Amino acid sequence: MSKHFVPENLPTHLQHYIGGKFVDSIGGETFEVLDPVTNKTYATAAAGQKADIDAAVVAATEAFKNGPWPTMSPRARAKVLYKIADAVVAQESRLAEMETFDTGLPITQARGQAQRAAENFRFFADLIVAQHDTALKVPGSQLNYVNRKPIGVAGLITPWNTPFMLESWKLAPSIASGCTVVLKPAEFTPLSASLWATIFEEAGLPTGVFNLVNGIGEDAGDALVKHPKVPLISFTGESSTGQLIFRNCAENLKGMSMELGGKSPAIVFADADFDAAIDSTLFGVFSLNGERCTAGSRILVERPIYEKFVAAYAARAKNIKVGDPHDPATQVGALVHPEHYDKVMSYVEIGKTEARLVAGGGRPENLPEGQENGSYVAPTVFVDVAPDARIFQEEIFGPVVAITPFDTDAEALELANNTRYGLAAYVWTNDLKRAHNFAQDVEAGMVWLNSHNVRDLRSPFGGVKASGLGHEGGYRSIDFYTDQQAVHITLGDVHTPKFGA
């Protein structure tokens, strides 16, 4: 497939969506949006400033205080959420084309995103209808119950990897809970977010419940985080940005949910199912172009199978099809943006001074015609990586992996925990006792045993250490977007000390 595919009716200008209307920035500011296959500008987007965030918060506040959404019954809200899910699925092929064009993700991996996004809305629709809250009775004395209510305007700041699906992770529970929202999508990938407004309108979501402001993090994101009338910030992104947001939320004591970076270990013991471990550890770091927070980007392999593993892994990595994201045969597409490409390539060069390169290490050969300037990186494998190497310690967020041997379970655990991050971990062993003990001792918010990253929407999603603050998923998401007010009623006689009698 040599000719670069461009989706039909591609917008050339993306606007904000505030109070039910598509609008430009009040000051007329814009920024350019690139296509990662050619790295050429294909559209401009309105660049939100403080004034635009203010306008969006006014609209969201009005919808929260005077609109019908927060006080509707859970069943009534659920009906709208189901319509949203159906509308997302109806857009599946269009969405996949737009997502691939905007992000460089392979089309086969973009196609599942609409189904996953729709499932988020169905899941939280079911959850709010089925949810019950605590009632506690002290016989003859007191009855206490929990009155759960939405907190207000939620600020949602989302990343550029699988943007539409990750936006749904935040939009579904916040809207289901009765909050109104201001979404600030990542500036690298604003295209698919533009679909939400029409989807929500057609599903019957009341005006002002959903607002979208495009823009750069330092402008639009910063204004949203600092806004005194936005009591909640949900952020997914890089850890140093999370630290900055944490500091800026302190002024107004905002609620925060932050899913941050990762340098997740995949630990392969000698007794593991070798072929399954190879398949999964390859997929775990090279799917989604390696641009995934839960990537198993450090692979720790027990010494007796280390050389065999390295040889098999390198051979497979060299065979991965890199190329046009719209080609169904492509397994790794173009990285999202030249800035990110430069960052990943700088780590590839660092790795060459720190470890042994056995696959990749540069741009792939034989790129499609017209795509020679695209942000392509060949799947890159470093082995014999020392624990203090930068490529072992720092998040690269691309198709680059570090493989390191270990001799004992204790050494494996020490290596696994030897970074500032703690998002995910993957353990491969057929020893049941070892599997559970290792999983419980590893410093990670999520652990998969003999599995790659398979998500259950009921379970908590989040990290420890520099990988996050708080958890989302299931009831934990509802807890974040609602206040749980305790109401106490006396059933018997009141016995109060008579001060001043």
Specify the CATH superfamily of domain 265-449: Aldehyde Dehydrogenase; Chain A, domain 2 (3.40.309.10)
Print pLDDT tens along the chain (501 aa). Answer: 456 889 999 999 999 999 999 999 999 999 999 999 999 999 999 999 999 999 999 999 999 999 999 999 999 999 999 999 999 999 999 999 999 999 999 999 999 999 999 999 999 999 999 999 999 999 989 999 999 999 999 999 999 999 999 999 999 999 999 999 999 999 999 999 999 999 999 999 999 999 999 999 999 999 999 999 999 999 999 999 999 999 999 999 999 999 999 999 999 999 999 999 999 999 999 999 999 999 999 999 999 999 999 999 999 999 999 999 999 999 999 999 999 999 999 999 999 999 999 999 999 988 988 898 999 999 999 999 999 999 999 999 999 999 999 999 999 999 999 999 999 999 999 999 999 999 999 999 999 999 999 989 999 999 999 999 999 999 999 999 999 999 999 999 998 999 999
| The pLDDT of residue 4 | 80
| The pLDDT of residue 1 | 43
* CATH 3.40.605.10 domain position(s) in the chain: 13-260+467-486
| The pLDDT of residue 343 | 98
Nearest CA among 239, 232, 320, 305 for reference residue 268: 305
| The pLDDT of residue 390 | 98
Q: Distance (Å, rounded) from C-alpha 323 to C-alpha 316?
A: 16
Q: What are phi and psi of 299, to 5 degrees?
A: -110, 120
Q: DSSP per residue over 6-70, as a string?
A: --TT--SEE-EEETTEEE--TT--EEEEEETTTTEEEEEEE---HHHHHHHHHHHHHHHHHSSGG
Q: Give the 3-state secondary structure percentages of the chain, helix then strand then coil, rounded to 5.
A: 40, 20, 40
Beta bridge partners of 501: none
β-strand pairing of 13-14 with 40-46 = parallel
Q: Is 187 a catalytic residue?
A: no
Q: DSSP per residue over 79-144, as a string?
A: HHHHHHHHHHHHTHHHHHHHHHHHH---HHHHTTHHHHHHHHHHHHHHHHHH----EEEETTTEEE
- 8-state DSSP, 470: S
Q: Which of 29, 119, 167, 259 is catalytic?
A: 259
* CATH 3.40.309.10 domain position(s) in the chain: 265-449
Number of other residues whose CB lies within 10 A of the CB of residue 340: 21
Q: Distance (Å, rounded) from C-alpha 75 to C-alpha 415?
A: 49
The model carries a pTM of 0.97
| The pLDDT of residue 474 | 94
Q: Provide the token pair at 207.
A: 């005006």
Q: Distance (Å, rounded) from C-alpha 247 to C-alpha 239?
A: 13
Amino acid, single-letter form, for residue 233 = I
CATH topology of domain 13-260+467-486: Aldehyde Dehydrogenase; Chain A, domain 1 (3.40.605)
